Chain A
């Protein structure tokens, strides 16, 4: 049946598929090698600097895990940055009253509530999630400003600062532990549970999934809740690491998270993605931030560079969607 040519094409296609899946790792290695050589005299390779990259990247990595679920289901969440700020402030305010456990619950509740609202508006009213979460971004960041009247709130609770920020588990910074936990749980859920498969089916072809008995609306709501709760978790980590919360937290993270997720091989149009890829994408973004800073680029120049990178990443993602 199959001619040698068609078999060859099939082999090449499979190989191409594999290659594009690994392109993010290749990119990671190349960028790492570039900085290692170019910045070897400016301390890029020192353990302290590498640890710094890991710590700085933790929040983005965690949010990128959430974003992978949302994008894979064919939706997007633009409200994560504002959830970071509100969740951090809520946690800090509750902590001031000396209630760390309630602070955790309250911060996560902020995420759950925003995610649920995003999800219900998207699925019930059939408003594109792009617009729903854009509106929510305004509402939630406004609430974050109102909550403390623009005042920063310090976090003095040392246990909190240890668990969510500066602590170490043996030799490993606790932020890396959080990252690992979220990435591993995310990966297992994404790759090895029926829920993960349903997310991919919903994003791949919503009608086909619906006709096959998948509750696609509920799946979409769930991914938006996951994303907002990941953002709330990032907010708690920011509050721990910076020992305080402020309404500006997370403002710059949205573009980084989307870039990291797209670079990691997740399609912006749904149906395809990778949690581990999102982690590598986050590390690439963190490395670029750090490297560009060491190279002496100003913050403004870094923001421009980030914009360029996201466009390149989306272009690659589009190219694959057409292939």
Chain B
């Protein structure tokens, strides 16, 4: 097959001009230009909410832009649906796998488009042969007859790409393809992408891992607040320039000052290990302190919290509460020991749909609201009212069904449930994800106040700005290890850009890591 040689003179394969898109009153894209050259890998980066996914959904035909033009190989097009985009040679590999785990590789690759025998029955053998050819073209060694669910995640990702490539698209969009891959799997994936590039396929590569973007991409575009902040070829860009473009000006941290924090550690974790996800993490949180945990998805931040809550069965390491070693083997034990946990996924793991605000708030403390073994109505009313006021939950009353509340107010209820326990240690996993700004501010203020009253808080967050604002110290996790600890008291700056740089810095460059583990992880390039 003849392939076009990419060069500056070649016509763009895809050209978007001045794309604009609003959702309700919120501007997702405010005039974005995006140019993809043939046979190149184009990195698309930006913070959550920068407009990456909206742009990609327009390119994939899922959303129609409010204004702006799209052209494929110079020809103006309107994409009305994902099928439309597919017909024009645009394929998309989603972040969440779209594979059926109980089917074979070949059955997945040809799902919905199965080759038939002359009698009209599904021809599994033809599908397997074609799949074999497809996988060989990608240069990967996966058996077409293997059951997808039994393959490692990295191999599943490659099957997903093989499935997308069956229709021989000229443009391949990958949304966070490395989020759940190991280092070796990332290398294999990059090999496949380079091979596709050499065949003339143009690739849009979305990732939070800036190191990976710099390693694989020929061009990079940075979005912020629905605008292009920076675009250019790899040679002209550096990690620093990208970070500045993503976050805007430096120093957005509100000077919180150093607060009166006790000397005593409320929670101490020593050398915690959990498979390959958490690899020897140690830290402590003192009374009155908010410890932030920053890190990309897959850095081990969620696993770490789950381990301290007793949700992970095979944990190695020591957990101490007020200096005493404790065995936290279940959430029941954790709550008894005074550890409360707010999970990441509010809808799935937090609220009980169909039940009242009151039932959701008081879930953990019913047995404290009884008289002679029976729940006391007046105690319930009073406690529910108190929590609703404390967290400024907007509700028509304690008996309103929780699903009628806005996402932010539902989240306040879930946090309120944890606070109702009056725990010594509060663990929160990304509590402000996907909620409105007003609710976020109220929640963070409440969390800070809770710590100021002498309790210990561990706050995992994807929002670096908020970590900078609320935390006294921030632990930066990378691939299951503590890469750095940044503390206000140590004179470090807890700004968004400082945190972002710490998350993405090469391990070798960490001169100032103060709480890293003894041995260095294998280089992540």
In angstroms, Cα B16 to Cα A102, docked, is: 84
Q: Are A212 and B417 in contact (CB under 8 A)?
A: yes
State how many angstroms separate the Cβ of A317 from the closest Cβ of chain B. Answer: 12
B349 within 8 A of A: yes
State how many angstroms separate the Cβ of A216 from the closest Cβ of chain B. Answer: 9
Q: Are B394 and A17 in contact (CB under 8 A)?
A: no
State how many angstroms separate the Cβ of A307 from the closest Cβ of chain B. Answer: 28
Q: Which of B336, B363, B421 contacts A197 (CB 8 A)?
A: B363
Closest chain B residue to A320 by CB distance?
Answer: B354
Taking CB atoms, residues of chain A closer than 8 Å to B350 are 208, 211
For chain A, residues 133 to 157, give those with C-beta under 8 angstroms from any C-beta of chain B.
Answer: none
B137 within 8 A of A: no
In angstroms, Cα B394 to Cα A272, docked, is: 24
Contact (A205, B353) CB under 8 Å given A188-B374, A192-B374: yes
Taking CB atoms, residues of chain A closer than 8 Å to B349 are 205, 207-208, 211
Q: Which of A13, A204, A208, A214 contacts B332 (CB 8 A)?
A: A214
State how many angstroms separate the Cβ of A119 from the closest Cβ of chain B. Answer: 17
Q: How many positions in chain B have a CB within 8 Å of any CB in the partner chain?
A: 37
Taking CB atoms, residues of chain B closer than 8 Å to A2 are 396
In angstroms, Cα B366 to Cα A200, docked, is: 12
Contact (A193, B374) CB under 8 Å given A205-B352, A271-B355: yes
Q: Are A204 and B354 in contact (CB under 8 A)?
A: yes
B348 within 8 A of A: yes
Q: Are B334 and A194 in contact (CB under 8 A)?
A: no
Q: How many positions in chain A have a CB within 8 Å of any CB in the partner chain?
A: 27
In angstroms, Cα B309 to Cα A208, docked, is: 13
Closest chain B residue to A196 by CB distance?
Answer: B375
In angstroms, Cα B366 to Cα A117, docked, is: 28
For chain B, residues 376 to 419, give those with C-beta under 8 angstroms from any C-beta of chain A.
Answer: 394, 396, 400-401, 404, 417-418
Name the prevailing secondary structure of the A interface residues.
helix
Taking CB atoms, residues of chain B closer than 8 Å to A198 are 366
Q: Are B331 and A200 in contact (CB under 8 A)?
A: no
State how many angstroms separate the Cβ of B97 from the closest Cβ of chain A. Answer: 21
Q: Which of B343, B369, B400, B401 contacts A211 (CB 8 A)?
A: B343
Taking CB atoms, residues of chain A closer than 8 Å to B370 are 193-194
Closest chain A residue to B339 by CB distance?
Answer: A213
Taking CB atoms, residues of chain B closer than 8 Å to A213 are 331-332, 334-336, 364, 421
Q: Are B375 and A194 in contact (CB under 8 A)?
A: yes
In angstroms, Cα B351 to Cα A211, docked, is: 11
B22 within 8 A of A: no
Contact (A201, B421) CB under 8 Å given A13-B404, A194-B375, A211-B341: no
Contact (A205, B351) CB under 8 Å given A10-B404, A212-B364: yes
Closest chain A residue to B306 by CB distance?
Answer: A211
B27 within 8 A of A: no
Q: Which of A1, A17, A208, A215 contacts B352 (CB 8 A)?
A: A208
State how many angstroms separate the Cβ of A210 from the closest Cβ of chain B. Answer: 6
Interface mask (A185-228 → B, CB under 8 Å = 1, otherwise 0): 00010001110011011001101111111110000000000000
Q: Are A201 and B335 in contact (CB under 8 A)?
A: no
In angstroms, Cα B370 to Cα A192, docked, is: 9
B10 within 8 A of A: no
Contact (A209, B363) CB under 8 Å given A204-B355, A214-B332: yes
In angstroms, Cα B353 to Cα A208, docked, is: 10
Q: Are A201 and B351 in contact (CB under 8 A)?
A: no
B367 within 8 A of A: yes
Q: Are B366 and A211 in contact (CB under 8 A)?
A: no
Q: Are A200 and B355 in contact (CB under 8 A)?
A: yes
Taking CB atoms, residues of chain B closer than 8 Å to A10 are 396, 400, 404
Taking CB atoms, residues of chain B closer than 8 Å to A204 are 352-355
In angstroms, Cα B403 to Cα A17, docked, is: 13
Q: Are A197 and B341 in contact (CB under 8 A)?
A: no
In angstroms, Cα B374 to Cα A98, docked, is: 40
Q: Are A210 and B331 in contact (CB under 8 A)?
A: yes
In angstroms, Cα B372 to Cα A193, docked, is: 10
In angstroms, Cα B341 to Cα A210, docked, is: 11
Taking CB atoms, residues of chain A closer than 8 Å to B353 are 204-205
Q: Are A192 and B351 in contact (CB under 8 A)?
A: no
Q: Which of A1, A201, A272 contacts B363 (CB 8 A)?
A: A201
State how many angstroms separate the Cβ of B458 from the closest Cβ of chain A. Answer: 15
**Which of B336, B355, B362, B394 has the most chain A CB atoms closer than 10 A to its own CB?**
B355
Taking CB atoms, residues of chain A closer than 8 Å to B359 are 197, 200-201
In angstroms, Cα B175 to Cα A191, docked, is: 48
B118 within 8 A of A: no
State how many angstroms separate the Cβ of A166 from the closest Cβ of chain B. Answer: 35
Q: Are B374 and A1 in contact (CB under 8 A)?
A: no
Taking CB atoms, residues of chain B closer than 8 Å to A215 are 330, 332
In angstroms, Cα B457 to Cα A301, docked, is: 65
8 other A-B residue contacts (CB within 8 Å) besides A193-B374, A272-B354, A272-B355: A10-B396, A197-B375, A205-B351, A205-B352, A207-B343, A207-B348, A207-B349, A212-B418
Chain B interface (Cβ < 8 Å from any Cβ of A): 309, 311, 330-332, 334-336, 341, 343, 348-355, 359, 362-364, 366-367, 369-370, 373-375, 394, 396, 400-401, 404, 417-418, 421
The contact sample of 12 A-B pairs, CB cut-off 8 A, is A10-B404, A193-B374, A197-B363, A198-B366, A204-B354, A205-B349, A205-B353, A208-B350, A208-B351, A211-B331, A213-B336, A214-B332
User: 8 nearest interchain CB pairs?
Assistant: A213-B335, A194-B366, A204-B352, A194-B367, A205-B352, A212-B364, A197-B366, A192-B374
Chain A interface (Cβ < 8 Å from any Cβ of B): 1-2, 10, 13, 17, 188, 192-194, 197-198, 200-201, 204-205, 207-215, 271-272, 321
